[in-house]
Amino acid sequence: MRINSEIREHLSEFDFEQFLDLEGITYRKTTGKGGLELNIRECPTCGNHDWKVYFNPKTKVGVCFAGSHPQDEQFNVFRFLQRHSGLSGRELSRYSRTRLAT
């Protein structure tokens, strides 16, 4: 559990938009009911490329509206990072500390 708590602590101050820029992930800024949203081209879970992922950087919660995306697998920063990187445990902790240092 220590590893997950370290990652979660780091991600609580995480700049998601900066992460997208660093990783070269294609996105655009839009406005939704909750204010600014980041509309991401590719879903790291289902692989859809049709701009179906919307992520709110303030609440740090996102959703994919692609029909092939499992409805019970939406996003927070931690889950998005896991899916995008393909890492977990110590590797994900190391990645979040080094590559994504703010």
Q: Give the pLDDT mean for 48-66.
A: 92
Tokens (6 digits) for 91:
């590797």
Q: What is the mean pLDDT of residues 58-71?
A: 85
CA 78/CA 92 separation, integer angstroms: 9
In angstroms, rounded to a whole number, what is the distance separating the alpha carbons of residues 31 and 81? 23
What are the DSSP E strand ranges found in the chain?
Answer: 27-32, 35-40, 53-56, 61-64, 75-76
Going from the C-alpha of 6 to that of each of 9, 28, 43, 58, the distances in angstroms are: 5, 30, 25, 21
What average pLDDT score do residues 47-53 get?
Answer: 93
Of 101 and 87, which is predicted with more confidence?
A: 87
pTM recorded for the entire structure: 0.82
